Amino acid sequence: MRREIPLLITGIVGAVFVLQYFIPHWPFSKMNAWFSDWFSIVAAFAIWLGALNLMKISLQKIAGRKEDWGYAIVIIVSFLVIVIPGFGGGQGYREAGTFFSWLYEWVYTPLSSTMFAILAFFVASASYRAFRARNLEATLLLVAAFFVMLGRVPVGDLLTGFMPTGWQLSDLAGWVMNFPQAAGQRAIMIGIALGLVSTSLRIILGIERSHLGGE
Amino acid sequence: MRCRQPGHTPLLLLALILLFVSTDVCVAQSEPDPAGSLMADTARVTVAPPTSVIVTDHKYDNGDALELSWVPSIDDRIPGGKVVRYQVYRSVNEGEYLPIQELLPGSNFFLDESLHRDSVYSYYVTAYSRNDSAMSVATAPVSPQREWLHVDRAWLFVIALIISLAVFYFIRAARKGEDLFIRKIAGLEAVDEAIGRATEMGRPILYIPGILDMDDVQTLAAITILGRVARTVADYEIQVRMPVSRSLVMTAARETIKTAYQTAGRPDSYSDDMVQYVTDEQFGYVAAVDGIMVREKPATVFLLGAFFAESLILAETGNSINAIQIAGTARPAQLPFFIAACDFTLIGEELFAASAYLSGEPKQLGSLKGQDVGKFIAMVVIIIGVIAATLAQAWEVPFMQQVYDALTFVFSTQ
Amino acid sequence: MSTRTWELLVVAAVLIVSTIVYLGKVGGWIGGVSFSPAVSIIVIILIFLSLVWILVRTLRGSLVDRRIVFLFVGLAVVLPFFMSITQKIKISPEVQQLYDALEALPPGSKVLVSFDYDPPSAPELQPMAESFLRYCLRSDLKVIIIGLWPQGPQQADLALQIALEDPEIQSKSPQYGVDYVNLGFQAGNEFVIQRMGANIESMFPRDYFGAAYRDLPLVRNVKNFSNIDYSFNLSAGYPGTQEWVQVAVDRYGLRLGGGNTAVQAPMMYPYLNAGQLVGLLGGMNGAAEFELLTGVTGKGTKFMLSQSFAHMIVIAFVIIGNAAFFASGRRKPLEQGK
Amino acid sequence: MEHLAVWIAALLTLGIISFLYKDNAWYKLSEAIFVGISAGYWFVVLFWDNVHGKFWTGVFPPEQYDAAGNVITEAPDYMLWVGAALGILMLMRLIPKIGWISRWPLAFIVGSTSGLYLINYFSSNMMRQVQGTIMPLFGMWPTDPTTGETVFQALPTYDIVGNVVILVGVFSGLVYFFFSKEHRGVFGATAKVGIFFLMVTFGASFGYTVMSRMSLLIGRVDFLFGTWLGLIK
């Protein structure tokens, strides 16, 4: 039973959600909205599991004096530092001027922006070490990348200023984006849609059940 | 003001005048007309009313919408004409008419939603100039209807059904023992090898299921592949490390690995600590995973699921610690980095095929055949469609025009 | 001295220098730095020469440490900030299309702007947001702001502040609630879009500041997408332009222009080709082009020089890496040098 | 406070950047702060937005009055209880004995996701894109709005070549993804063309990603040298 009930739930719910697209009649018309509400509520409940897990692991590290246990203290402290004003502040917890919004603006934002920004360095390092014209495929990848990188900044047109209009780097970059690039995207999109249909069908039919613990 | 509305005329007229006055004030506030206010022009700018106001049921809904359409006032046929706005009035159950919607000049359509199918509604539309207005004839009372089937989507249903039936058919055929050929997918052939390498080196395997939640199918695919990988891993004595960024994914992954270990007959080797929640925040998560990579130096890294910007950091860091990396995602923007920095990459559809392929079970492989039927349909339709469209448009072949129109209609989704 | 001592010294030096500069900024005795054209050219030549040195080293068979690559990227981005060089920006068709569609709107048209990004993507999208809002308010278009990302409305507020500083807009003194509103964030991703298609108020009963929807004159009569004349979506991922296209455009026929991070932009071209998108601003470049079209230069244009340099550096490294790869007989893997 | 804020932001920024040199204490500290703060941030935001904002106010709607003082409180939405029930079942994991019950909400989410995505992607990514690829290669007969006549308008060569490229690209790309046939002979050659197109796509994505990442770095540099140190004019 422990195995059958979840499979049954998955199958029935999946089929209903496929059908709702074709049935405008109540209650099918409401399914989409309900699901979005339910999912966000479940996710909000589930984050308790995650947060407790994070605390547990950090506490274990501290208790066992494992490597870098000091940082585990920092994790717990910073978690509490934002959670306490977050809950203590009531509904207006993130209005301008609150400590929560201060933390958001001056701690959270710079940290997440910088994490994003150091990608720039990794991109360059990857270009130097990994992007090799090993074969025709890789060469095409690099050539397309060149067109786009040069064509999308003013320098590109500076380099090809002598070419007639329509044949400058920015035009070529535009052509690559609009045609071969778009064609590739489209093939990938169609493939993904079909892969999704088949994966979803396998899940709904209960053939694919490893997410619920295998056969 | 001309009023052709039967019954309740005096009351209605009063109500209308009041409404007109109040809405006019409101308009004057919200849309100051510099020309008008400067000239203090009192000359009446008369307008013709909108005509042919028709109300019809909005098709294929739960009986809560009506469509109203009309021919714009003849003073609104040219841009910058005399009409400054339209106002839609509605009466519920033959009650009084109330203004419900203001529209820009040039409008000829209004969709009225959130209605009740037990009530009857009638409408009229008034055109306003700067200081005059003219109302249309009111429509007959109508109730919205609700339908059981979305007929416009019938073709989508049919095509989805054909592909689904193909999937069923091949799954059945496989069950009956028919031999189905599936070509080799390099990235998946390498999974066992990659796990073997970790065993030899005595280092852990790192499994990253992307950063989206369980409501993304790429994550589902990653979790199903995890099921296969965990089965193999359970047979060897290697450590699996799986930091995740969503609590639901943590739950699902634990469940998956646990069962894999049970099936392999070593439930004792399983521990909840294999899967660990870090944070929902994208880069907080990446920072932590990077730390794990640098400090624990896993021999094999799986990056399967929905990835965004972090793909590059993860793949580069994995590369720098010389791990074997098998990556896969359906997000085209992240694929170049996986292709450059990982040993094997599953592109788009291959990610979804992976769990079926790895299972090696005939019925799972059958579903891949079904997918191919879908691709075949797409290819045939595209070729026929383009030929038909080209012949029809360039050389005026009527039959081809019909084919072209038919295909465009069948594949339209609105 | 050991490496560790050196490292600590560098950290101390960085902290001391920045403290001095900071005090200088606060005290007003250190202002902005700007290179003269001659210095700029010398700097460029020096960078070029050191790249040649790296090329030679790599050709000899050892890759330089990745930290040197990092250093070059840093320089390529930082130095142009201090250079005074102007460059000519060319308008691409997808930006032109977006602008044309916007320009064709009569005054008073309602424009829905969805802010679907957070601070990390702000460098790319904030310049677009600023110039888009500036254009709308200057042209008397009514702006309705929403956000599908929790931090979106905050970003919108920042962009609005910049736009409202524009003298031409100040002379019109636009009013909140009449000329623009910020309806805030709503959780639920594409489901929010779907429900907005039926009824916007049901998704956004109150605005960002807590006022009731029906009390806002601008939106009081806006029921759903059929009352929106144009929409613009600033997107950094999921949910974003793809979801707006799939739901709002495909199901409700909304007219949509996209402002995307450069990473997202390539995925939008199929939609652009199929007519599901009116136009597209892609990345910083798209922002700079849009600024040129609207005639007000902002951050997009200002950052473009760094952008050009950074691209050149990446291309240089791809070329160096590949030159070495071919010189070493293509197959032989290169060793990481130290 | 203003000064402290800018300094904290700057030091954390530098801490993350220092990872480029090597893993170090400054980075680890910034990382730990980031993990704690971001986990806490989402913990709080999800509670207020979803549990409170969605569930609580949906089930117990606060009283509201319109301008005239009439009660316009919305009716409670009882369906939201289902979500809460699923959420509570999820939390059963915390009690090991009945932890298995958390599979039910999981099954529910997996099922609904599969069903929903099946149809959404099928319509937008398969149907609509196939339809978008069906186009006349050489030109159209648009109706002249003034005369009502149709005149053949040939496309410029640029677009004709482009259209052919799209057709070939989509077709061969799909061939590449075919699973039931070995990539040999003509089929293999077509698949090869397909992978060429995919590579051009990835190359373009790579170019755009470089663009994007550099922009973000520029944003941080603007903060460090502009907002913090005030060196940028």
pLDDT digits (tens, 9 = 90+) for B127-152: 988 888 888 888 888 888 888 888 88
φ, ψ at C32 (rounded to 5°): -70, 150
Chain A residues touching C93 at Cβ < 8 A: 174
CB spacing of B113 vs C221 below 8 angstroms: no
Residues in D closer than 8 angstroms to A81, CB to CB, are: 36-37, 40
Helix (H, G, I), strand (E, B) or coil at B141: coil
Only one residue has tokens 């045609």, namely A179
Contacts of D128 in chain C (CB under 8 A): 250, 274, 276
Residue D150 is given by DSSP the state B
Confidence band of D152 (pLDDT split at 50, 70, 90): low
C172 touches chain B (CB under 8 A): no
CA separation for the pair D100, D92 (Å, rounded): 8
Interface of C with D in 143-162 (CB under 8 A): 150
Residues D112-141: what's their mean pLDDT? Answer: 83
Q: Which residue in the set B250, B256, B347 is minimally distant from A210, CB to CB?
A: B256
D136 to chain B: nearest residue by CA?
Answer: B390
Identify which of D127, D134, D178 has the shortest CB distance to residue B386.
D134
Alpha helices by DSSP H, listed for chain C, are: 3-27, 37-59, 66-78, 93-103, 122-138, 152-164, 167-172, 190-198, 200-203, 217-220, 241-243, 250-252, 265-273, 283-294, 299-327
Q: How far apart are CA B91 and CA B124, in angstroms?
A: 9
For chain A, what are the domain ranges?
A: 1-66, 136-203
* A141-145, C170-174, D13-17, D125-129: range with lowest mean pLDDT: D125-129
Token pair of A76, please? 């717990």
Residues D5, D118: Cα–Cα separation, whole Å: 47
Conformational region of residue B62, where left means phi above 0, alpha means psi within -120 to 50, and beta covers everything else: alpha
| Secondary structure letter of residue D180 according to DSSP | S
Residue numbers of the domain that contains C241: 93-297
Average pLDDT for runs of 10 along chain C of length 338 = 87 93 88 85 90 88 84 92 84 92 90 92 91 94 92 88 90 91 83 82 82 86 86 91 85 89 87 86 92 89 89 92 78 39
Write the pLDDT tens digit of every residue in D42-57. 899 888 888 887 888 8
- Among all residues of chain C, which has the CA nearest to that of D73? C205
Which token pair is D200?
């051009």
Instruction: Return d(Cα C10, Cα B403) in angstroms, integer.
Output: 73
Which of B1, B2, B124, B3 lies closest to B69 in space, CA to CA? B124
Residue carrying structure tokens 């009313």: B49
Q: Mark the ranges of chain A whose per-residue pLDDT is less than 70.
A: 1, 210-215
| pLDDT at residue number A81 | 95
In chain C, residues with a C-beta closer than 8 Å to the C-beta of A174 are: 92-94
Write down the domain spans for chain B: 51-135, 191-342
Are residues B255 and A29, on separate chains, in Cβ contact within 8 Å?
A: no
Asked if residues C239 and C148 have their Cβ atoms less than 8 Å apart, the reply is yes
Compute the count of residue pairs across chains A and B with CB atoms less than 8 Å apart.
199
Tokens of B76: 């609104």
Q: Taking a contact as any Cβ pair under 8 Å apart, which residues of chain D between 159 and 198 contact chain B?
A: 167, 170-171, 174-175, 177-183, 198
The CA distance from A30 to B78, in Å, is: 42
CA distance D33 to chain C (A): 17
Give B305-328 as a DSSP string: EE--THHHHHHHHHHHTT-EEEEE
Contacts of D131 in chain A (CB under 8 A): none
Q: Which CATH class is domain B191-342?
A: alpha beta
**Which of D198 and C191 is assigned the larger pLDDT?**
D198
Domains held by chain C: number: 2
CB neighbours (10 Å) of residue A104?
Answer: 20
Half-sphere exposure at residue C65, Cβ-oriented, CA atoms within 13 angstroms: 7
Q: Which of B188, B285, B297, B287 is nearest to B239 (CA)?
A: B297
Chain C residues with CB under 8 Å of A124 CB are 69-70, 72-73, 313-314, 317
Q: Which chain B residues contact residue D140 at CB under 8 A?
A: 393
Q: Compute the average pLDDT of residues D64-80.
A: 74
Buried b / exposed e along A54-67 (16+ C-beta atoms within 10 A): bbebbeebbeeeee
CA proximity to D212, closest of B307, C266, C283: C283
Burial status of residue D186 (CB atoms within 10 A of its CB: 0-12, 13-18, 19 or more): exposed
pLDDT of residue B354: 87
Q: Which of C73, C94, C321 sits opposite A131 (nearest CB)?
A: C321
* Nearest CB to A71; choose among D13, D28, D199: D28
CB pairs under 8 A between A and C: 127
Q: Are strands B109-112 and B66-71 parallel, antiparallel or unpaired?
A: antiparallel
Query: Are the beta carbons of C221 and B102 separated by less than 8 Å?
Result: yes
CA B56 to mean position of chain CA atoms: 28
Please report residues of C whose CB lies closer than 8 A to that of D209: 262-263
Subunit contact C325:A132, Cβ cutoff 8 A: yes
A144, A172 contact by CB (below 8 A)? no
pLDDT at B80: 63
**Shortest Cα distance from C121 to chain D (angstroms)?**
7
Q: How would residue D148 be classed by pLDDT, with cut points 50, 70 and 90?
A: low
CATH code for the part of the protein at B51-135? 2.60.40.10
Smallest CA–CA distance, residue D186 to chain B, in Å, is 16
Residue C259 and residue C169 in one domain: yes
Alpha helical stretches, state H, C139-182? 152-164, 167-172
The type of residue at C110 is K
Query: C70 contacts in A (CB within 8 Å)?
Result: 121, 124-125
Q: How far is CA A145 from CA A158, C6, D37, D92, in A?
A: 18, 39, 37, 50
Touching chains, D (3+ CB pairs < 8 A): A, B, C
Cβ of A133 and C307 within 8 Å?
no
Question: Which residue carries 């759903």 as its tokens?
Answer: C224
Q: Do D111 and A10 touch (CB under 8 A)?
A: yes
**Pick from A32, A47, A117: which is nearest to D217 by CB?**
A117
Shared domain check, C134 and C249: yes
* pLDDT score for C36: 85
Residue C81, C-beta contacts closer than 8 angstroms, at least 6 positions apart = C305, C306, D221, D222, D225, D226, D232
Given a cut of 70, the residues of chain B with pLDDT beneath it are 1-42, 77-80, 413-414
Three-state DSSP class for C155? Answer: helix
Q: Which chains are within 8 Å of B by 3+ CB pairs?
A: A, C, D
Cross-chain residue pair A49–B247, CB shorter than 8 Å: yes
Q: What is the pTM of this model?
A: 0.82
- What is the DSSP pairing of strand B121-128 with strand B85-92? antiparallel
Cβ A181–C266 below 8 Å, yes or no? Answer: yes
Sequence-distant (≥ 6) Cβ neighbours of residue A204 within 8 angstroms:
A10, A11, A14, A15, A18, D111, D114, D115, D118
Backbone dihedral angles phi then psi of residue A3, each to the nearest 5 degrees: -95, -40
CB A71 within 8 A of CB D29: yes
**Chains contacting C with at least 3 CB pairs below 8 Å?**
A, B, D
Q: Which chain D positions have a beta carbon within 8 Å of B385's beta carbon? A: 130, 133-134
Tell me: do C46 and C121 sit in the same domain. Answer: no
Task: Tell me whether residues C217 and B29 touch, CB distance under 8 A.
Answer: yes
- D residues 186-205 near C, CB within 8 Å? 201, 204-205
For C:63-82, CB contacts with B below 8 A are: 66
φ, ψ for residue A121, nearest 5 deg: -70, -40
Pick from C62, B317, C312: nearest CA to A122: B317
> What pLDDT sits at residue B33?
44
Q: Is the peptide bond before B105 cis (omega within 30 degrees of 0)?
A: no
Tokens of D92: 């059963």
> Is D171 in contact with B383 (Cβ distance < 8 A)?
yes
Nearest Cα neighbor of B208 from B313, B332, B357 is B313
Chain-centre distance of CA B403, in angstroms? 28
* CA gap C269, C281 in Å, rounded: 11
Q: Do C245 and D66 touch (CB under 8 A)?
A: no
